[in-house]
Amino acid sequence: MDNADRWYFTKDQLANTPSRKCGISETRELSFRQQAANFIQDMGQRLQVNQLCINTAIVYMHRFYVFHSFTEIHRNKLSLSALFLAAKVEEQPRKLEHLIKVAHHCLHKDQSLDVRSDAYQEKMFEVVAHENILLQTLGFVLAIEHPHTYVVKVCQLVKASKDLAQTSYIMATTRCILSTFRQSKPNLHYFIQWKSKAQQENFR
């Protein structure tokens, strides 16, 4: 199976995720995913990584919970590891200490963080341990083909206005946060392939 095709799922697979088998309803699972995505978005903005890095982390999170239940690793804990890994993959690495401090501020704004405590040291170990589990779950396939690339290409092909291009880009990001999976390759994917091939033929 092609690495990319591994991440297309049938309705049956999506209806029988590990979380569903653990008694978590479809609505609740989607809510957990959206909460995790928003947490990643919040941390990413505070860490000043770009949106591409944030989107990559969100995709890692979504993919992880196709194979693991939300009862196994709490969404907030997995989100830290997803962003920590994505930042390295997208060449915007952030120090683990900084990530933990930012996450703590997002979750516990009114509580101080003792960096000399055993709890802090355990958190550092936990992030790395969960990162390793995430890597294994992803099969070490870390390159993500984001929809934003196709949005930009289509906007160029149809000569879309700046406002339409910006709105489309924002919608692609929002879709990443609010939704979960794709069951088949979108028609847009085939349209761009056809258009690119046609343009190449014209230049021969």
Q: What is the pLDDT of residue 141?
A: 80
Q: Write the burial class of residue 92 (CB in 10 Å: 0-12 exposed, 13-18 middle, 19+ buried).
A: middle
Whether this prediction's pTM lies above 0.85 is answered by: no
**195 within 8 A of 56, measured Cβ to Cβ:** no
pLDDT of 198: 44
CA distances from 43 to 27, 55, 57, 117 (A): 24, 12, 11, 22
Are the CB atoms for 13 and 53 separated by under 8 Å?
no
- Looking at domain 1-144, its CATH superfamily turns out to be Cyclin-like (1.10.472.10)
Answer yes or no: is pLDDT of 190 > 50: no
- Answer whether residue 158 shows pLDDT above 70: no
Instruction: Quickly state the pLDDT bin for 143 (edges 50, 70, 90).
Output: confident
Predicted confidence at residue 202, as pLDDT, reads 44
Mean pLDDT of 133-137: 96
pLDDT tens-digit series, residues 15-37? 889 999 999 998 899 899 999 99
Q: Where are the domains of the chain?
A: 1-144, 146-203
